A and B are shown apart, each in its own frame.
Chain A
């Protein structure tokens, strides 16, 4: 395997089943200063992502704040335009489409937002909010908009009679359901959910996670879920990508990733999750990372994790490890992966 063959061959063969393919995706936000607003640097929010999301699966991106996961979500739904790279949705290049060209595509891809308070217009009734996609797309559902909206409300577990109520009359969990009903209106194929449950209480979180699961089955949805909570990600995902400072450091099936994490960052991340079990308090070997995540304005050279990694050697400071498939369906970008027989990867 070579570094240039960034997507494994096996995956290329399965391309037909890929709903969305991301190739070398980069997003840099320019920093401007001075009177002339000259660019003096860039926040390298997303810096070279390669992955594909298959139809019907739940693909999660997990990482800490500032790792670029929300930017990735916004790039996928083309709320942001990539600096470089390519996004292909169902075989169509959507990387640089204009707003007008994107509009028809929005039927197929929708987004669930984190904050159920700011993502609903407080002056609109629930009926208007959930019916908005029909209006914007000029679609008249069979039986009329009102009937369709009431069905959608029932689908997400809300009372259809609440059609004329306003968002403030609902609790946080119910508002999140309203947002989900809106995303479902046009029967999208892809739903990108950016921290869909992090603003909710635990008991409500479980309700929404169960709902997302039911809807996926019922409407044959593909999810891309962005989250920082590793337990939530494990529960919902088929495959998981771990991001650190704008790059994917590990990508694998959820079971493999959680069972045998290979990247030291993933290992540290997992060891830090508090477990609700007092018996484990003593036995846990926790890896404490020192310091904070470096600034994405000037990320460390080569392996971006080397400044905090306990396994870092000279090579980690000079040569960037590519994301390679070390074990079947398990990609990792590290010179010295964990849970791998050959500690050093020499063939590269």
Chain B
């Protein structure tokens, strides 16, 4: 499939289809050579994100969500040469505001990090340097992109810490990461990521390590700061609840590929892929009458070295028999089911609607 055809499949929300998206990933592949074989962590992923919008990327561990975000940030170790240290093999294209990143030098991409794009990591304790004060780490990033003296930068750091809701920021700026609680560390990392007003913010499981009341605070914070800075946000999570709270668009990943893409409204109210149904059915719901049994997905996620042929989900799919064997042989491409909503599944439209209405909805 040509790049332009792939691009056409990457649908955007109506009204903006002609504009250049702010972030565009086209046919991204990230493979890791290992002694056991080639691990295909991301294998042909395409999506687009407009300015000021939030894209939720959902999937289980090993689905390639984090590897994708590291690829956008240019944080994968590339093999220095064929023989020396192993690293990631990347192919495809990543456009940030029209600028292709994968072909650029690491130095060029480093210049973009912080200012053009920034990342919030899952575990703030390991993402921060324990030897430096929190303020020092914010100041350092800020001064790389802004020609200001230490005093101004320090004032900015205090300002940012205050913005993310850290009490007594002028005192806390000199504290070390270990002196902060988990929620405060996560806030400090958000302050660090936002200190240069990045245009693109990638949040990789930003609340997974946090308690639910703190999670609510952090989600609100990301939402507020996004509207203030009009940043684009990529929110990576396994929690569909978090996605429903924050995301405009949702991309569901399975075994390194996109299996469904659409607006949050479409994904939650008219999901089209059996894997998405499984994810929704697996979650104990808080807001509906208690169900007797959860609608678990059978089996386990596949090995990324031996991804099943055809549809990677077919060994776990309840409806595999409805496709006359095509699921085992032909890899389904993302195809539109309605404007702005694409799915990679061999089920016919009538089958899909019938299963969703009659088999899934009553069990949710």
Contact = CB atoms under 8 A, between A and B. Distances in A.
Contact of A235 (B217, B279, B291): B291
B244 A202 contact: no
Interface in A46-75: 64-65
B238 A201 contact: yes
B29 to A, nearest CB: 23
Contacts of A228: 211-212
Contacts of A272: 212-213, 215-216
B355 interface: no
Nearest to A173: B300
Contacts of B149: none
Interface residues of B, number: 48
A12 interface: no
B300 A275 contact: no
B285 A213 contact: no
Contacts of B307: none
Interface string A297-322: 00000000000000000000000000
B74 interface: no
A173 B223 CA distance: 34
A235 B284 contact: yes
Contact of B294 (A235, A254, A269, A277): A235
Contacts of A280: 244, 287
Contacts of B290: 234-235, 254-255
Contacts of A270: 286
Interface string B188-222: 00000000000000000000000111111101100
Interface string A206-234: 11011001000000000000001111101
Interface in B264-318: 264-265, 268-269, 278-287, 290-291, 293-298, 300-301
Nearest to A207: B296
Contact residues of A: prevailing secondary structure: helix
B243 A202 contact: no
A271 to B, nearest CB: 8
B269 A279 contact: yes
A234 B289 CA distance: 10
Contacts of A65: 182, 211
A173 B316 CA distance: 15
Nearest to A286: B216
A120 to B, nearest CB: 17
B138 interface: no
Of B167, B240, B242, B286, the most chain A CB neighbours within 10 A belong to: B286
Contact of A230 (B281, B286, B293, B300): B286
B183 interface: yes
Contacts of A144: none
Nearest to B184: A292
A230 to B, nearest CB: 6
Contacts of B301: 171, 201, 203
Contact of A232 (B220, B238, B284): B284
A276 interface: yes
B228 to A, nearest CB: 18
Contact residues of B: prevailing secondary structure: helix
A288 interface: yes
A305 B211 CA distance: 16
Interface in A265-300: 268-281, 286, 288-289, 291-293
Contacts of A271: 216
A292 B214 contact: yes
Nearest to A174: B300
A205 interface: yes
A210 B293 contact: yes
Of B60, B214, B296, the most chain A CB neighbours within 10 A belong to: B296
A84 interface: no
B300 A274 contact: no
A213 B293 contact: yes
B255 to A, nearest CB: 13
B294 A276 contact: no
14 contacts: A206-B294, A206-B295, A207-B298, A210-B294, A228-B211, A231-B241, A231-B285, A276-B243, A276-B244, A276-B280, A276-B285, A281-B244, A286-B216, A288-B217
Given A202-B283, A206-B283, 16 more contacts: A204-B60, A204-B300, A207-B296, A207-B297, A209-B294, A210-B294, A229-B284, A231-B285, A231-B286, A236-B284, A269-B212, A273-B241, A274-B245, A276-B244, A278-B269, A280-B244
Interface of A: 64-65, 171, 173-174, 201-207, 209-210, 213, 228-232, 234-236, 254-255, 258, 268-281, 286, 288-289, 291-293
Interface of B: 60-61, 167, 181-184, 211-217, 219-220, 238-245, 264-265, 268-269, 278-287, 290-291, 293-298, 300-301
Which 7 pairs from chain A and chain B are nearest by CB?
A274-B241, A235-B284, A206-B296, A206-B282, A272-B216, A206-B294, A203-B297
